[in-house]
Structure 1
Amino acid sequence: MLFCTAGEFGCMGCTVVEETSDLSSCTEQILNCGYTGPINDDNKDKIARAILLHSAARRTTMLRQLREGLQLYSLIDVMERNRKLCHGLFVAADADKVDSHYIVSHLAPEMSENGTQKHTREAQILNNFQDFLQELEDGTVEDEDPLDVPGVMQWLTGQSHRHLLTADRQNFKITVCFDHGCLERMPDHKICYPLVSACTETITFPTAHCVNYDEFKKNMLTAMRCGAGFYRV
């Protein structure tokens, strides 16, 4: 069971409550966590505590059941005697940290026909994205609010770590789409940003604004800082 992921979702639930300007959009989720008071801005702290308590109560039951299962072959005793050896079975190690290669190797771009101008722009954007991830990994991106590669993974998919199961890693892909029509839809606009749907693990790049690398990097940093919530389905 991915208890680390469960914890991340609990924290994200509280973050959404704290940052949203319309709590009515979260009414069902809040009530499902056992909160029975008024749902308004004055009670955000109480709502956040209810979400955390609900999450903790569920995880405690799961952990207790996991412990009971491990007792079947006295594995608990083995773990007690060999804590360091067994630590990596339950806690993500550095090898499980997302790096730029992990993201790039799972990109699934929907490219235009080879040899067209659209394809050339799309290829350049993919190169920009790879360079951006490498800069983050090297720590050379100059920004007042430093980001990292796991943060990009969190933004793209909703989780910041590698998939623990081999099957999940093999099936994992980030769909990359390209929007070539933003200028036709909005002739007078000057800028638009990459859009992410974490639920479907999809990112869409506007090709009119992301070809130049400096512009691409600026757009990415703005998009990640201002669009990290679960606003798109």
Structure 2
Amino acid sequence: MTTQDPIMVGLQPLEAVNQLTYLGSIPASDRDGDYDVVCQIAKAGVVFQLLRPIWSTPKIDLATKIRLLNFTLVEADQWQRKKAASPTSVLRVVPIGEAGVDTGALRKEFLSDMISGIESRFFEGPENKGKNPKYSLTDLDNENFRTVGEIIAVSLAQGGPSPAFFKEWCYNVLCSGEVDFSCLSKEDVADVESSLLISKVEDAADIQSLMLWADEIVSCGYTNQIEMDSKESMIRAIVLHCTTRLIPMLQELKKGMELYGLVNLMAVNPEACHSLFVTGKILKWMTGQSHVPILPDEKRHFKITCKFDHECKERLGDHSICYPVVSASTVTFVL
């Protein structure tokens, strides 16, 4: 920088720097914007990487993908600015090339698509039985799991859907930061390779067939002698191997979820937050919503049962106006 008198604030001179971050941009003293452009591209790249499964899936029609693309093309620094604010700083979705104001519906739709993409891209496991984070050191190194945690916190704080697809043990780690090894079982295994290896060990009829999988069993940390009577110990080693290696991913998720104090709330009220991550309905008093938003995958399997009451006059007497009876718990209404 050129030599000049320092700018004073009271009796304190302001420090002269070559560049600084202001509202998500990085202005430089020499007016060179190359570094700022590189940072903006990197931020956008993270968002597009999160949404890659949505672009490639045949289950989502082209029109929906184009709309989501328009939503996503909002500069990534908008996300960076919002994430440091309080939950009262509402995320606004601004479609490019379209007139309109986001009054909440666009934000909820955007967050629903984001949570759905996160589930398919970063988690694995059978439907309706809970999922584990995928084992990916690349995503861990790129801090993608931390970004996922931030998006989850924003979704819960600003009226989006809950990530109700975690396995129980994962939720316990997010709450306490520790793993209860005694509670881990083969039902907590979500990746296909480990599940198949467990099945092969269980189905082995003799020592010869069991030895076929010796290298894979040993790679899971099993150090005892491979014998037919040691099947349970081998399965136990496989379970511990494929679950404990996911702890760093869960720790990064937890860091991202500190965004709105969500982790502190989970630590203090683990039972109250349980249904937000594992199973059950979203609690209205926690999300401030009057309804439960559902993910696109849930919409495809969502059914409403309609029944017609043809004997209402016999039961209720003569009348000219009938009112429908709605049962929210069974998703049924009677006409």
TM-score, length basis structure 1:
0.33
TM-score, length basis structure 2:
0.25
Give the number of the structure whose residues are more often helix, by fraction: 1
